[in-house]
Structure formats: structure tokens, C-alpha cells
Amino acid sequence: MMPKVYKEVIDLGDGREISIETGKLAKQAHGSVVVQSGKCMLLCTVVSNYEQKDLPFLPLTVDYREKFAAAGRYPGGFFKREARPSDGEVLTMRLVDRVLRPLFPKNYSAETQVMIQLMSHDDDVMPDAMAGLAASAAIQLSDFPFECAISEARVGRVNGEFIINPTRAQLAESDIDMIIGASADSVMMVEGEMDEISEEEMVEAIKFAHEAIKVQIDAQHRLADAFGRKEVREYEEPVDNEELVKKVHDMAYDKVYAVAKAGSSKHERSAAFAAIKEEVKASFTEEELEEFGDLVSDYYRKAEKAAVRDLTVNEGLRLDGRKTDEVRDIWCEIDYLPSVHGSAIFSRGETQALATVTLGTSRDANQIDMPSHEGEERFYLHYNFPPFCTGEARPIRGTSRREVGHGNLAQRGLKGMVPDDCPYTVRVVSEVLESNGSSSMATVCAGTMAMMDAGIQMIKPVSGIAMGLISDGNTGKYAVLSDILGDEDHLGDMDFKVTGTADGITACQMDIKVKGLSYEILVAALKQARDGRLHILTKLTDTIATPRADVKEYAPKMVSVRIANEYIGALIGPGGKVIQELQKETGTTIVINEDPVTEEGVVEILGTGQAGIDAVLAKIDSITFKPVVGDTYKVKVIKMLDFGAVVEYLDAPGNEVLLHVSELAWERTENASDVLSMGEELEVKYFGIDKRTRKEKVSRKALMEKPEGYKAPAPRERSNDRGGRDNRGGGRDNRRDDRKRD
């Protein structure tokens, strides 16, 4: 019997729709939905165990996977099976996780899993924009303790008009690509890239997306009501011990306030806070600590947070002694590593990033192979965050989701400033060597300088800054913090990172932790961020004002030339022989691609020595050489024959042509050796294809003055030209006839 299906439809306002349905698939999950737009279908299931874990955090896993069958494709690799998630899938997981996690109760610690799967793909629908909608809709059908429904939407702008969930083709023309996550009354997450837009334009885009999100949330409520809302599950909620709260607060608050006001370094401050905590705990008996130890630690953290926030809001001071709009001390250096193609150090306070640049050919492009998107990146950035950068020792088990996310943000901030005609594939790697807040923005700054040091002709330099917010809901006071520390990130109400040039924003990532943040505060924060960005930008340009005019001496030079399609095979040679030998002889790397539009061959030549590159260019000129009828060329005699000489064009070595004995001089010449000698250089005139012989014709005598009273000599007998070959051919025929008779 077919189960009853419940369905709601969301109108996107331009003829497109998104549907949410439940009741047909995955009914043993605690909540499941299928979200569909066009032919794109996402299945989302949510499950949360009923047993609470003894953990101080929510063990939430958000998993997003794209099935290759969804696009009618096979997975790559030997086993032909989906394995570890791609970077694109990891980025979608982070987009959803960052909005969902704050809406679970802080003391809820049951193992919770959100699984989103692309089951059917549509080239005109980008599925990542619907993942947040699917996750929230599934949770609304469950019994989870979850604060409120949310959704996410992508916003683009084409020809000045905002578009919700644009197609990939529309996105290619858009100057904005942002995904916004929000509840009905609060924006919670923003991430995206822009083409140097203003702060006001960014806020307008967020507002536009938020209105669309409200419509999607209404559809979730209707679906949950029709399906039947479940009673929220019960779980053990700890009750505050008010007497203990007051005791810990009274003992710790003033001392923490004093340490925070002292403006000490990260390690000094951490040690001082730890000492205060131990002093508080020492005031309790062993029996009390055994019973209330966890609560004492929890209440101390609350007192510490309150003291630091109050210091900033009331006095405008911060943990390291700065004012709210001050940026930490910065120093920069370029060309630090002697063997790499480009390098730079960016050090701001206790955060430091060392960026390197490597230049390559199109063969080094980053290949993207996902069911929803295939392509390649000629510019990409990798971000590494080793444990020593925070003074920790822990095992390294592959690239973390955080590293993927931070690297992607820095890449989006920089890529728009790499010119379209850059001939190289550019890989930037950021090694975070110290971290106390905003290492991703340090990566942007170091990456800018490293690319300029490498000779990449960036359109404009880019800087980045991480901002914070501390607000007092009771008094309405707030403080926007420029260049936040790691502690301020944890204690604050907003963490947003902004990258841009002197003319506008190129990328952003924003997580808002306070409800109902006004757009006025958001605009004020973005404008303060602009002041900070411009200050940092001056430090970068003081270090390196413009890109190097050329790549470094030991870095590879890239030359790109186009050849007609008909010559590609000749350049490659049988089995790749010609191109392989050419690379070996010249010490270069040669890559040949075919332009899909013009069908020309695009030849990339990469080499550290100009002589090697010139040798390859000469070979290409030789292969593609086409003499022009009526032009004169210098040639060299390379072979003597009875009926003429084989000559080679000096401008195109390897290109040979027969100079017939009749074209050597006006007077009759019996043997070419009477006039020419091996290795002799001379000039000839090119006449194109001879109609009689159907071969190319060149002439020496055409460049000589005709003798007075000249009479053309009698025609030569054909046997002088071809008799030998004809006889040889006849001989072979006779031998074959003899064998047949035998």
C-alpha cells in the first residue's frame, strides 16, 4: 500500500518552484524529507539518540554527499565507489552545520546526525543552496529540542537584479555569490564572494535573501502541521545552583576584570585566568568539588565571559589593551624562501602566516569532479593549520573541515584579482605558524604579497580582517571589534571576516550569534571593517607596492602560442616522440590543449631558461611554417641530386623543398653540383604549387637578371628526372612477375 505523502511547494517568483515532501522515504529516521527543484532531488534524514552523552558539547554530525548516479555518472578511481567527501561536499556540510548547531540547547548532548544526499541532479539547479532547507525541514518533523526553523538561500545579482538560487549559468554573469542562513527573525550566517561591492550593496543582498528564507520557513511550518508535530522529547536539563553561581561570580569577576584590563599577551592572560580558576576551586572542599566540580568550572567560565564583555562595552578596552577599532601591530616580509616561486610572511600580533606560490601549466590545474559540477581551477589556495601554531601537541589525521573552509574563504577573496590572461596555473599554500585569531585573513594578506612577489600581475591587492561584536541586550550598548583575538571570537556575539580591495568587498564569512541583530549595526560593523582593511592594505603595499614585472630568475617562464589544428599531430609526433624529445632537449614542459571554440591548438611552454623556450618556439615556427607565394627566402643546400638540390629554409629548419636544376640559372645547367655545393646558403623565390608536377616550386634564377637575348633551352627528357625511379619501380614489378611464374 502506497504511504500517504505530505507536500508543500515554495514559489521562487520566476516560474521556478521548490517542493518539500515527506512520508514516502526513510520512515525509520526521526525525520526525513525530499526537497526537489526541477530534476534536482535531495534526501535529508535526521536521527538523534535518546541517550545523553557525558560531554560538554553537542556531538552533531552534518554529512552532505553527492551520489554519482544522480548525474548518470560513474565515480572515478579503481573501486568505482563514492569514498571520502570532496572539498565541495565538505563546504556544504559547514554551511549547514554553522546554522543548525547554535539552535540546539547548550546542554543537549545526544549523538545527532543530519545526512543530506543528492539523489538526482539538474544542471540548472545548484543543490548546496537547498541543503539548509532540507535539514531544517527534516528536524521540524522530528522530536528534537530545536529552537526554530531556519533555511538557507543563495543570492546573485545579474544586471542589477537580485536572483534567489540562480543557476550556474546565471552565477557566471553575477557580481555576487552569497549563501545566507537565517531564521524568520534573524540572519545567522553569511558566506560568499563579490566583485568589489560596497557594504550597503552587501546588506541589500542579505535583506533580499532573508525575505525569500521567510517564505521557505513558512512552508516548513505548514508541512510539519499537516504531517503532525511530535512532542519534543524530554532530556535532563541541569538546574542552576543560584547560590553557587553568586559565590563563584563574586570570587572571580573582579579578578578576571583586572587581568583583562591589564592588556597582557595570550599566554600570560591564559595563565592568569587559569590561576584565578584554581583559586576559586581551592575555596571549596574536596567533597564539594566532587559534587559540584563541573558546575564550578561552568560558572567560572560564565563569570569570565561577563567580565571581559563588560570591560569592552563599558570602557572600550580589550584583552590585549587595544581600543575597539585598533588593529594589532603588523610586520611583513617578501621573498623569504629562496627556492620557491613566490613567498611572503604576514605577522599581525600573535597570528602569523607564511604563504608560498607555485606556478605551473594547465596540467597542474585543480580538477573538480563532483556529480553536480565538473571543471578545473587555474587558481587555488590550500590552508594548513598545524597544532604547534596554538602551542598544542595533537595527532594530524588528514585535512580538517576547518582547514578546507578557511582555505576556501581565502581563495574566494583573492581569485577575482587574478587576471583572466594569467598564463599560469597558480597554487597558493598558507602555512599558519602562529594563531590568535583570524588566521584565514592573515592568509589572504600573505597570499596577496606572495603572488605579487611571484610576478602574478594582480589587478589589485587584497587585504582581509576579522571583526567581532559584543552587545548588551539590556542597555542597547554594543561594541564592534576590529581584528579580533581568538578569545574575543568565543566570547562575542558575531564573528565576521571580510576581504576586499581599496574599492570594495571580494569575499565574506559571517556567523551571528545574537538574535535580532539590526541592519544598522551590521552596516556600522562593515564600515569599521573597511577602515581596518584599508589600514592593513597600506602595510601590504608598503612591503610590495606592485607586482614584480616578471617571474623570478629560477621560476618558470610561461609562453602560450596558438597553432592551427592541422599541426597538432606534427608537434606531438608518432607516439609523442617529437614533443617528448623536444622537452628533453630544451628542458621545458610543453602542454597542448585544444580550444573548444576555435579548435586551435593552445601550446603552453614552461621553462626556467629562455634559450629552451626559444628553441621550442623555433620548432613550432618550423612545423607551422608556410611560405608565401612571391616571397623570397634564404635556404641552405642539404642534399645534392642529379636533377637538382634539396634545400632547407633557414627560418624553418626541417622544412625542405626541391630546387630543380632547371631553376638554378638562366643558362642550361646539366648538374646541380656545377652551380651549388653542400651547405651553401642562397636565396630563392617561392612560386607555390607547380601545376605540372603538383609539387612546391622555388627558383634561384627568378632572382637573377635575365641575360640579354635569352632563348629558352629545349625541354629536358623526362628520363633525366624520373627515369631511375621508374626503372627501379619496373624492376620490382618484374621480380614480382617472376615470383608468380615460379
Both 195 and 302 in one domain: the answer is: no
Residue ranges for the known binding site are 489, 495
Q: Are strands 379-384 and 425-434 parallel, antiparallel or unpaired?
A: parallel
How many alpha carbons fall within 13 Å on the CB side of residue 659?
36
**Looking at the structure, do residues 534 and 605 belong to the same domain, yes or no?**
no
| pLDDT at site 195 | 96
pLDDT score of 718: 55
Q: What is the pLDDT of residue 163?
A: 96
**Is 388 found in the same domain as 483?**
yes
For residue 453, the SS3 value is: helix
Please give the C-alpha separations between residue 168 and each of 5, 290, 520, 571, 574, in angstroms, as whole numbers: 31, 58, 32, 37, 40
Contact (CB, 8 A) for 260 and 311: yes
In this structure, is residue 524 part of a structural domain? yes
Asked if the model's pLDDT at residue 239 lies above 90, the reply is no
Q: Is residue 577 part of a domain?
A: yes
What is the Cα–Cα distance from 16 to 37, expressed in whole angstroms? 7
Q: Is residue 723 part of a domain?
A: no
Q: ∠ at Cα 354 (348, 358), nearest 5°? A: 145
pLDDT value at residue 723? 41
For range 145-159, the mean pLDDT: 96
Tell me whether strands 366-370 and 379-384 are parallel, antiparallel or unpaired: unpaired
Is residue 395 assigned to a domain?
A: yes
Rounded to an integer, the average pLDDT of 667-695 is 88
Per-residue pLDDT, 155: 97
Is 728 inside a domain boundary?
Answer: no
Q: What is the pLDDT of residue 711?
A: 75
Closest among 335, 432, 443 to 380, alpha carbons compared? 443
Same domain as 603, residue 685: no
Q: Is the pLDDT of residue 724 over 90?
A: no
Looking at the structure, do residues 197 and 294 belong to the same domain, yes or no?
A: no
**SS3 per residue for 136-174:** HHHHHCCCCCCCCCEEEEEEEEECCEEEECCCHHHHHHC
Mean pLDDT of 122-128: 95
Among 520, 511, 429, CA closest to 466: 511
Q: Following DSSP, what letter does each residue of 178-192 receive, concatenated?
A: EEEEEESS-EEEEEE
Nearest CA to 66 out of 111, 153, 125, 136 is that of: 125
Please give the average per-residue pLDDT across 67-96, as a whole number: 91
List Cβ neighbours of 222 (8 Å cut-off, separation of 6 or more).
8
DSSP assignment string, 207-236:
HHHHHHHHHHHHHHHHHHHHH-PPPPPP--
Percent of the chain topping pLDDT 70: 96
In this predicted structure, what is the pLDDT of residue 721?
46
Q: How far apart are CA 442 and CA 432, in angstroms?
A: 8
Report the chain's mean pLDDT, rounded to a whole number. Answer: 90
- pLDDT average, residue stretch 463-491: 87
Which residues are documented as binding site for Mg(2+)? 489, 495
Give me the pLDDT at residue 285, please.
87
Lowest mean pLDDT among 469-483, 610-624, 682-696: 469-483
Q: Model-level pTM?
A: 0.85
Say whether both 528 and 463 belong to one domain: yes
Q: 281 lies in a domain?
A: yes
> 689-717 in b/e burial notation, b at 16+ Cβ within 10 A?
eeeeeeeebbbbbbeeeeeeeeeeeeeee
So what's the pLDDT on residue 514?
82
CB atoms within 10 A of CB 90: 21
pLDDT of 179-225, one tens digit each?
999 999 999 999 999 999 999 999 999 999 999 999 999 999 999 99
pLDDT at 730: 41
Chain mean position to CA 694? 55
pLDDT at 140: 97
In the predicted model, is pLDDT for residue 729 greater than 80?
no
**What tens digit of pLDDT does each residue of 401-420 get?**
999 999 999 999 999 999 99
Instruction: Write down the pLDDT at residue 740.
Output: 42
Report the range out of 279-283, 530-534, 735-739 with the highest average pLDDT.
Answer: 530-534
Q: Is residue 719 part of a domain?
A: no
Q: Is 549 a residue whose pLDDT tops 50? A: yes
What's the rounded Cα separation, in Å, for the pair 70 and 63?
17
Residue 112 and residue 146 in one domain = yes
- At 710 the pLDDT is 72
| pLDDT tens column, 572-630 | 989 999 999 999 999 999 999 988 888 899 999 999 888 999 999 988 988 888 888 99
Residues 6+ apart with CB under 8 A from 740: none
Task: Indicate which CATH number applies to the domain containing 637.
Answer: 2.40.50.140
Co-location of 584 and 455 in the same domain: no
- pLDDT: is 729 or 453 the higher one? 453
Distances in whole angstroms, Cα of residue 396 to Cα of each of 351, 393, 432 = 21, 9, 14
Pair (682, 606) in one structural domain? no
pLDDT recorded at residue 515: 82
Range of the domain at 568: 557-624
In a domain, 415, yes or no: yes
Q: Are residues 396 and 496 in the same domain?
A: yes
Q: Average pLDDT of 424-431?
A: 96
d(CA 52, CA 547): 56
**pLDDT grade, residue 726 (50/70/90)?**
very low
Mean pLDDT of 21-50: 97
Q: List, edge to edge, every strand of the sheet that includes 601-607.
A: 557-563, 601-607, 589-594
481-500 burial by CB neighbour count: b if 16+ within 10 A, else e?
Answer: bbbbbbbbbebbbbbbbbbb
**How many whole angstroms from its chain centre is CA 400?**
16
Assess whether pLDDT exceeds 80 at residue 709: no
Predicted local confidence at residue 742, as pLDDT: 41
